[in-house]
Structure 1
């Protein structure tokens, strides 16, 4: 059980930063000229957005987000970050625009003449789609394999050209404009109607935009953290509706051109609406094989075969989704949801205060990132070699920054990486308290912590790759001389004295050397507290990025 803090130590229970505020990094790049504030606001919309859940998931800490902004401004100034607010809102608007286009086009396809209002709306939607292509060439992406943000314009352009470019570019062909031009130039009404209908039939290529629609909808789901299963069902219903709508329009145009007998008389005042209903019923029969009879028309035969094929695919997809519903509790996300429900029930039954319940939820979300897993069971199934390689990958870079461990043999470093334990702290959690006896050292994998003197004065911040508490780990019965509080969600690795001694017990000379260095540094800390040394000899208070940190490890913590 940890000891109580000394009475003389100020109780710092919350982090209210008293250090000089970090300079807005945009000031360095937009410092003068006209409309400075407006230009900074515009540029800020293209940079990584802290409120985007994907930023928190992949960048994790405020320090990483700030570093991402600096890299963006210095190396890829004119690119748009994939986690930016501009990208998020633009894709949301394009979901509405593409859905509207996919609804309007098959309906207009059935009209003999296009009105000026509809033509203006169609041109507006096409302009938005053209702008979307330009934005696609300027928007970075998240590499699925490395989970890194790619902002290089060359790599972005190559990925877009190999991916969605054709399905975005081909639908830009606006055959309505060509048909209106032909109507104004032709004098033969019969040939005019036939020609314009053939040209307007080219609008069917706009259905390719459905691929971009699904991509943007997937990203919207990630932003709002919707259930994957419910989202898939909604997306399936939307796509099915759009396919039925398009197939209805195409069937009507083909049936009208081939003058099918089952269409009602064109002189009827409800000619269009009634025939569209008839075509919709026919298409529904094609898709789901309900009372279907083969057509005798050679013009409709290819359409019928295509509709039957699409119907079979849709039915197979429906069945797969139903099976997924039955097996949903076996997926990692649904296991996470089940555990989340258990957490809510637990805090409710224990009558936990709302503030603590909220912290429990934050901890759960940060640890599992919306996907539940049992780490101990996973590690037990792996071989010793694989477990060692995973630990080395995670922890070795953290040990490299510790001066006192640099001369240790590789075998000791490898052993230490396997002995470190992960701990997660939420914002304002107290990690160490001045006056407590320490027996471990902390390594910051991600996040940021604030350091306070025993009197409660904030000294600095420490971020990713930093560490503190090594003297307390090495020297027995040593008190902490500073309080450390989490500023961000912090993922820390802890190395205890017991684990450290077990790793170096076969190297007595190394242990004596490490102990001598620790005693010397501890005496320097004591002399600093009595005014014999200036704190500036030990602290480097600001990095070029404006983030406070210790230049040397915090030996005294």
Structure 2
């Protein structure tokens, strides 16, 4: 989502603010020449922690720039060290934590499961020695330190209350809100950097297993990813696709780790791993990490999809329990993915569904009115061209727009028409916007009579797309007019002049009608354009009359 408003507009917006401000937008003390590097860095950092209009969340919670500036000023005056959740620092921090959480959600369960079982490969004497300590692992330690820093960051960051549209910045309320949430306990237990103060290897294994609690941060990951995508301008559809793929793989990955972890939990509790365990029967301890992971991933996928493998039947009760849980979760997960897919499909096809519902109503209407077949086909052809198989209520949408916005939309919609019609190209921008405002779109089907000769002319037409034929009153075809042409101007230029020709649609035509009153308002001040129209009208009248005379003479001779 792009920012809805800015205090300073770009040059393309047409406004350069020249009002002198008595204080800066950040409301921080002005920089001094005597300030050193540390003072400058401190001021820049403080500015980045204030609410920013460039953060998309600011425009969701606050309706005006004045409100944002007021929030920023109050933050500076309070001299609080709390980081505003809608600041640019927080926005970039969430981008960073998106990457970190993805790594954590994949690394911690894999580290807890596959790294622990490596000790079973050693002989008994060596294993007894290894029970006392575990070697220092820099990457694991770094991940846990980052998680601990994130806990501290949460205590120093305000949080929004969506229902009340306010932001809580009081430290005591922030701490209470975080500690009483489900995230605090899981964050603490999964972020303990154990190698420095825990020497017993069994305890280390238990602490590593607590990394599975990080799964509760999955909604936080998707929240951060969505916010980061808004700032980076990534399409929401792309985010949804990536989100669904990521959810699916995380589920498979976590169950693969859990299936391998269960026999190790038994060893931790009872000091043994049964020979009947599927891990032992599959000789997994003898394989390298990648081979173990693929086998476990394959088994987890089978359980999730409720596929039973005869070669790996389980007899140990713990493994039976985890298979039952996986089967149940798999059924729920498949149902969830199916509903999610159908929801996405229906959202994308909602306009098409509405269109076919409308067509069903139209068919029922035609059947009830006993319309002839050729009329039914024309009606269906009209709806197909008008809505292009996507039904929407244009009047309901446009009724909420301001006149200025309507004018800009009309000008954009008619841009192709303006470019193709030479007459409109000679109009100044202000007159062009006025003309476009008065234009009324109409659709004519093949063989529809657009203008009938001899009738009173009260409008002219601009042909946006399609082809029309010009016929004399006696039935002689004069010419064809195509995209960008205009017709019907003769009766407007010559007073009390009736229509001089028949205009018939050869194919489906989209035309824009300009009535007499609007014509006078738009063209009366442009004498050069009126002269051009008069010349074209006189020329067309002469040509039509010539063809009419020739055709009548030939008819009388016959």
TM-score normalized by structure 2?
0.51
1:76–1:237: structure 2 CA closer, same or farther, 3 Å change rule? Answer: farther
Q: How many angstroms apart in 2 are the aligned matches of 1:344 and 1:198?
A: 67
Corresponding residue for residue 135 of structure 1: 153
Displacement of 1:330: 8.0
After superposition, the Cα gap between the structure-2 partners of 1:89 and 1:350, relative to the gap in structure 1 and judged at 3 Å, is farther
Give the drift of 1:98.
1.7
Please, what is the CA RMSD of the aligned residues?
A: 3.9
Aligned pair count? Answer: 326
Pair 1:276-2:277 in alignment: no
Aligned residue number for residue 235 of structure 1: 243
Q: Does the C-alpha gap of structure 1 residues 215 and 63 become closer, same or farther in structure 2, counting only changes over 3 Å?
A: same
Paired residue secondary structure (1:327): helix
Residue 292 (structure 1) shift? 5.2
TM-score by length of 1: 0.51
Paired residues of 1:168 and 1:208 also in contact (CA < 8 A): no
8 Å Cα contact 1:102-1:207 kept in structure 2: yes
Q: Pick from 81, 84, 87: which aligns with 1:81?
A: 84
Alpha-carbon contact 1:142-1:150 (below 8 Å) kept? yes
Q: What's 2:19 paired with? A: 19
Cα distance between partner residues in 1 of 2:411 and 2:97:
37
Cα distance, 1:238 vs structure 2: 1.0
Aligned equivalents of 1:267 and 1:27: distance in 2? 62
Q: Is the 2:229–2:239 Cα contact (8 Å) retained in structure 1?
A: yes
Residues of 2 paired with 1:313 and 1:296: CA distance? 25
The answer to whether the 8 A contact 2:190-2:208 is kept is no
Provide closer, same or farther for how the CA distance between residues 229 and 16 of structure 1 changes in structure 2, counting only shifts above 3 A: closer
Q: Deviations over 1:506-551 (max 9, x none)?
A: xxxxxxxxxxxxxxxxxxxxxxxxxxxxxxxxxxxxxxxxxxxxxx
Task: Give the Cα separation in 2 of the matches to 1:335 and 1:136.
Answer: 47
CA distance in 2, matches of 1:79, 1:274: 48
Aligned to 1:59: 62
Q: CA deviation at 1:131?
A: 1.4
Residue 244 (structure 2) pairs with residue 244 (structure 1): no
Distance in 2, Cα, partners of 1:322 & 1:284: 19
1:101–1:122 contact (8 Å) kept in structure 2: no
TM superposition shift of 1:195 = 7.1
Structure 2's unaligned 5+ residue stretches are: 1-12, 120-129, 265-272, 352-389, 399-408, 420-558
Q: 1-side partners of 2:68 and 2:85: how far apart?
A: 13
SS at match of 1:299: helix
The Cα shift of 1:85 comes to 1.0
Distance in structure 2 (CA, Å) of the matches to 1:167 and 1:343? 55
CA contact (8 A) 1:175 1:203 kept: no
**How far apart are residue 79 of structure 1 and its match?**
1.3
- 1:276-425 maps to which residues of 2 (within 5 A)? 276-291=293-308, 295-329=314-348, 346=413, 349-350=416-417
| Residue 172 of structure 1, aligned match among 162, 177, 191 | 191
Match of 2:29 in 1: 28
Distance 1:205 1:55, change over 3 A: closer
**What secondary structure is seen at the aligned counterpart in 2 of 1:104?**
helix
Within 5 Å, give how 1:464-503 maps onto structure 2: none
Structure-2 change in CA distance of 1:348 and 1:97 (3 Å)? farther
Equivalent residue for 1:98? 101
Correspondence 1:262-273 to 2 at 5 A: 263-265=281-283, 268=286, 270-273=287-290
CA-CA distance at 1:86 after TM superposition? 0.9
- Offset at 1:46? 0.3
Change (3 A) 1:40 1:199: closer
User: 1:23-53, CA deviations, whole angstroms, 9 ceiling, x for partnerless residues?
Assistant: 2244438878763322110101101122212
- C-alpha distance 265-26 of structure 1, shift in aligned 2 (>3 A): same
Unaligned ranges ≥5, structure 1: 1-12, 184-193, 353-557
Does 1 or 2 have the higher relative contact order (CA < 8 Å, sep 6+)?
1
Show CA shifts across 1:390-447 (max 9, x none): xxxxxxxxxxxxxxxxxxxxxxxxxxxxxxxxxxxxxxxxxxxxxxxxxxxxxxxxxx
CA gap 1:17/1:330 in 2 versus in 1, 3 angstroms: same
Secondary structure of the structure 1 residue equivalent to 2:46: helix
Larger Rg: 2
Secondary structure in 1 matching 2:307: coil
Residues 103-131 of structure 1: CA deviation (Å, up to 9, x unaligned): 22233231226999982111111111111
**Conserved in 1, the CA contact under 8 Å of 2:28 and 2:76?**
no
Deviates more, 1:137-146 or 1:288-297: 288-297
2:72 & 2:344 partners in 1: Cα distance? 41
Residue in structure 2 matched with residue 455 of structure 1 by the alignment: none
User: Which of the residues 184, 205, 218 maps onto 1:210?
Assistant: 218
